Amino acid sequence: MIREETRARARAIQMLYACESGAGGGQEGGGLPEAAAKVADLTGASPEVTRKAEAVVQGILEEQAELDREIAEAAEHWRLERVGAVERCILRLAVYELRHESAPPRVIIDEALWLAHRFAGPRSPAFINGVLDRIARALGRL
């Protein structure tokens, strides 16, 4: 059984991806309501999970420039635009949570790795783990 928090994180990744790809009607939050509705329809997500995911995604979109700066600094030898879209979405979610959530950093990183295993390529978990470890240490969370 997947926990509600994990489901909300998975839906948030899907919403972020929809917003980034333009499937939600545009970037920078303009398409978030449309992306949330599409993800909820496609996944059958409960209204509570959808609300939680949408709230987190709204925060991420508001802070995206700062989140991207932190990720780019921590991803040595990688330009952010070269990182896969799914991986970027997972990193944005995890860094946002490291900055704002009361969840333990190990839980946040473990959930990000679970999402990477589920939605991204086979090499993604190691890359994501390295970037998040570096950011969590820089934030004083590890």
Interval 93-134: pLDDT, tens:
999 999 997 799 999 999 999 999 999 999 999 999 999 999
Is the pLDDT confidence value at 138 over 90?
yes
63-142 maps to CATH 3.40.50.80:
no
pLDDT tens-digit map of 7-20: 999 999 999 999 98
Region 44-71: what's the mean pLDDT? 93
Reduce the DSSP state of residue 31 to 3 states and report it.
coil
Cα separation, 130 vs 5, whole angstroms: 23
Please classify residue 37 by burial: count the beta carbons closer than 10 Å to its beta carbon, then call 0-12 exposed, 13-18 middle and 19+ buried.
Answer: middle
From the CA atom positions of the chain, what is the Rg in Å?
14
For residue 26, the model assigns a pLDDT of 46
| Residue 43's pLDDT band (cuts 50, 70, 90) | confident
Please classify residue 84 by burial: count the beta carbons closer than 10 Å to its beta carbon, then call 0-12 exposed, 13-18 middle and 19+ buried.
Answer: middle
**H helices within the chain, ranges in order?**
4-21, 32-43, 47-62, 64-74, 85-100, 105-119, 124-138
Cα separation, 139 vs 87, whole angstroms: 20
Identify the residue whose tokens are 């993800």: 39
For residue 23, the model assigns a pLDDT of 62
Tokens of 137: 């240490």
For residue 34, the model assigns a pLDDT of 83
